[in-house]
């Protein structure tokens, strides 16, 4: 496990060294492009971005301290040299609908050697929009905008900034490589709908470290074709936990390989670590090499979940099993408290049972009145090591102890 994590860090080091050794950047201050407090700065930011992308030397776009209104912006590469977007102030999104109803407030696409820093805040001002969100029951619901959309970005370092009260997902990071989020804060109330923290899909070598994520949905959600995702020293709560999926509903979906969640803390989340796939769905793919280690669960409703019968709001049926294959799952040193007695749930596919699941040193307690702490298992025979509280898969014949 450790060597693989080391490889991911080593892959990122050349980029960090490049940024540190780069020449003094050319400054592009948005106030030099006509930005004024109280007025929409989208034009000024776009113009500064265009010039920075054309620069043959490294550049820094500066949004100074203060409160700035930003209606909507698309910042598109390619860039000739490294670019830093230094956000020192607070950017505020429109409370109502965006000018362009494409579902994204700030979009950054096709950049390489890019950095966001500065200690600033991206404020989506989502409180009013959440009241109108009925997507859980209305498939034709209005698409609410997300705060930050990153697509096709490479060798990127996003750190020391906050995204707050997004109307929808806080961050989408799609089709990107070698991206690091560090000291990245995500803040939204626990009852804010669909405010996923960071959603990943078709990415490789993504690191999320030393961060705090508080949302009304998944703290981190991992979609298909994700490889080498490293999440370490992250505090999640409130929220729905760190989830892979849901997967299986689309035949174009591709494998998820190499997910590492280490040294994380979950506080009053509905789930801790979770994998979810749809039953009666057409996709055949694999989810494999999952590593969960040194995790604290504090009053988590369902701390450990593999659910291959995921079917929210009765949007499917259970007559056919999931075709997704889950294998090589390593769960080690998970401690804390469960809000419900079912501390561990592993319901795997009856057609493709989970394989090579290894569980070691789990200590999850429940002090409520619903009975003793238990586990729910189906179509899985894990290898068990060390102290296990509760007994893991005691109801399944053939669980292996060592």
- Inform me whether the pLDDT recorded for 247 exceeds 60: yes
Does residue 39 form part of some domain?
yes
Q: Would you say residue 10 has pLDDT above 60?
A: no
Query: Do 169 and 125 sit in the same domain of this protein?
Result: yes
Q: 164 and 213: one domain?
A: yes
pLDDT at position 8: 46
113 lies in the same domain as 203: yes
- 161: domain CATH number? 2.160.20.10
Assess if residue 229 is contained within a domain. no
**What are the C-alpha distances in Å from 160 to residues 46, 181, 184, 373?**
22, 9, 5, 40
Asked if residue 120 is part of any domain, the answer here is: yes
The confidence score (pLDDT) of residue 261 equals: 98
Tell me the H-state helices in 253-347.
none
Average pLDDT over residues 227-234: 98
Report the pLDDT averaged over residues 388-394. 94
Q: Is there a domain that residue 267 lies in?
A: yes
Q: Same domain for 281 and 201?
A: no
Do 331 and 294 reside in the same domain of the chain? yes
Tally of structural domains, the chain: 2
Q: Are 351 and 284 in contact (CB under 8 A)?
A: no
Mark whether 2 and 95 lie in a shared domain.
Answer: yes
Burial class (CB in 10 A: 0-12, 13-18, 19+), 335: middle
Percent of the chain with pLDDT over 90: 81
Mean pLDDT of all residues in 341-357: 96
* Given 240, 284, 291, 313, the catalytic residue: 240
Q: Which is more confident, 22 or 83?
A: 83
Structure-block tokens of residue 118: 């500065």
Domain boundary among 197, 217, 237: 217
pLDDT tier at 296 (50, 70, 90 boundaries)? very high
Please indicate, yes or no, if residue 315 is contained in any of the structural domains: no
Range of the domain at 366: 245-310+320-402
Q: How many helices, marked H, and strands, marked E, lie in the chain?
A: 3, 27
240 is catalytic: yes
Residue 32 phi, psi (nearest 5): -75, -10
Give residue 18's pLDDT: 44
| Greater pLDDT, 101 or 98 | 98
The pLDDT, as a whole number, for residue 132 is 82
384 lies in some domain: yes
If asked whether residues 60 and 204 sit together in one domain, one would say yes
Judgement on whether residues 334 and 199 belong to the same structural domain of the protein: no
Measuring CA to CA, how many Å separate 173 from each of 49, 61, 162, 223? 20, 21, 16, 10
Residue 331 lies in a domain: yes
CA distance 274 to 271: 7
Whether residues 60 and 175 fall in one domain: yes
Q: Is residue 107 part of a domain?
A: yes
Tell whether 262 and 178 lie within a shared domain: no
Spatial distance between the Cα atoms of 191 and 193, rounded to a whole number of angstroms = 6
Is residue 291 located within the same domain as residue 150?
no
What is the predicted pLDDT for the residue at 326? 98
- Provide the pLDDT for residue 96: 83
Q: Are 121 and 265 in the same domain?
A: no
């Amino acid at each position: 496990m450790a060597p693989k994590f080391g490889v991911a860090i080593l892959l990122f080091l050349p980029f960090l060294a490049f940024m540190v050794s780069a020449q003094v950047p050319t400054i592009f201050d948005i106030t030099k492009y006509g930005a004024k407090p109280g007025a929409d700065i989208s034009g000024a930011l776009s113009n500064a971005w265009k010039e920075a992308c054309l620069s043959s030397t490294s550049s820094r776009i500066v949004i100074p301290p203060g409160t700035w209104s930003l209606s909507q912006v698309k910042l598109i590469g390619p860039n000739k040299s490294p670019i830093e977007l230094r956000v020192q102030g607070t950017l505020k999104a429109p409370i109502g609908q965006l000018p362009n109803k494409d579902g994204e407030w700030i979009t950054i696409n096709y950049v390489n050697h890019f950095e966001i820093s500065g200690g600033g805040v991206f404020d989506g001002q989502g409180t009013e929009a959440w009241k109108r969100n009925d997507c859980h029951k209305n498939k034709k619901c209005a698409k609410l905008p997300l705060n930050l959309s990153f697509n096709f970005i490479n060798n990127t370092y996003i750190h020391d900034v906050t995204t707050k009260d997004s109307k929808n997902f806080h961050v989408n990071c799609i089709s990107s490589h070698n991206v690091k989020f560090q000291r990245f804060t995500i803040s939204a109330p626990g009852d804010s709908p669909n405010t996923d923290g960071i959603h990943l899909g078709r990415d490789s070598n993504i690191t999320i470290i030393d961060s705090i994520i508080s949302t009304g949905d998944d703290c981190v959600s991992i979609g298909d074709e994700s490889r080498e995702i490293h999440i370490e020293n992250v505090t999640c709560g409130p929220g729905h936990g760190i989830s892979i999926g849901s997967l299986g509903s689309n035949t174009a979906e591709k494998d998820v390989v190499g997910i590492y969640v280490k040294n994380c803390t979950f506080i009053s989340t509905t789930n801790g670590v979770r994998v979810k796939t749809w039953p009666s769905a057409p996709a055949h793919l694999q989810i494999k090499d999952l590593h969960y280690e040194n995790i604290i669960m504090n009053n988590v409703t369902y701390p450990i979940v593999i659910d291959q019968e995921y079917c929210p709001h009765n949007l499917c049926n259970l007559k056919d099993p999931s075709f997704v294959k889950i294998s090589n799952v390593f769960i080690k040193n998970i401690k804390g408290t469960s809000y419900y007695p079912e501390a561990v749930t592993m319901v795997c596919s009856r057609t493709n049972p989970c394989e090579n699941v290894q569980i070691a040193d789990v200590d999850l307690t429940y002090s409520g009145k619903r009975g003793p702490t238990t586990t729910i298992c189906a179509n899985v025979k894990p290898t068990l090591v060390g102290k296990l509280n509760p007994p893991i898969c005691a109801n399944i014949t053939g669980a292996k102890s060592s």
